[in-house]
């Protein structure tokens, strides 16, 4: 039976599918709409993305503003990552809090992230990372939070990270709140 685990941040769920292994290898269902519906999550998935990253890479923390806000269902196909979300939902009891979950090909676990969160990950082993999105990417709605914001205090578990210039230029959470207040 697939296990759906609530996390300390409302709306974020870890999904652990049932894996069948035998001498040939393994099989598991990587997505079933009824899993999410069983916990009142109903998304219309419209886009699948995939990236590959080398060990030590940090990607994020990214989000999309309304009306292009995206819920995501993320998983690792090969390798291992530290997946990070930051709650940016205005009025949320956990606004500004982060959650860190290790995702790995060995565990086949996934993370459901509602719209209204900044998302990123650090690569603990070379990986292929896949995610479903509930809305299309829209460049003009893209935003981010500085990955190493000292007030967030996220331990990305990588030394000397490989990171894009874009990701080093995002505002801190405090600067984002001063400018926008949060995400609707």
Residues forming the active site: 62, 131
Q: Which residues of 30-41 are buried (b: 16+ CB within 10 A; e: fewer)?
A: eeeeebbeeeeb
Would you say the pTM of this structure is higher than 0.85?
Answer: yes
Residues 106-136 have pLDDT tens digits of: 999 999 999 999 999 999 999 999 999 999 9
At residue 31 the predicted structure's pLDDT band, cuts being 50, 70 and 90, is confident
Q: State both tokens at 32.
A: 């079933």
Token pair 């998302």: residue: 119
Q: Which domains does the chain have, with CATH numbers?
A: 43-180 (2.60.120.10)
């Amino acid at each position: 039976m697939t296990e759906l685990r609530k996390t300390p941040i409302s709306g974020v769920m870890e999904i652990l599918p049932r894996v069948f292994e035998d001498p040939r290898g393994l099989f598991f269902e990587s997505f079933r709409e009824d899993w999410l519906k069983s916990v009142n999550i109903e998304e219309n998935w419209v886009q699948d993305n995939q990236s590959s990253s080398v060990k030590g890479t940090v990607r994020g923390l990214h989000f999309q503003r309304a009306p292009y806000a995206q819920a995501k269902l993320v998983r690792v196909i090969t390798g291992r990552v530290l997946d990070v979300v930051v709650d940016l939902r205005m009025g949320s009891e956990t606004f500004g809090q982060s959650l860190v979950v290790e995702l790995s090909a060995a565990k086949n676990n996934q993370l459901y992230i509602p719209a209204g969160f900044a998302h990123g990950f650090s690569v603990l082993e070379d990986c292929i990372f896949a995610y479903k999105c509930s809305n299309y990417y829209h460049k003009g709605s893209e935003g981010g939070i500085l990955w190493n914001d000292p007030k967030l205090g996220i331990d990305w578990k990588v030394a000397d990270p490989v990171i894009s210039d874009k990701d080093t230029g995002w505002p801190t959470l405090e600067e984002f709140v001063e400018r926008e207040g949060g995400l609707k």
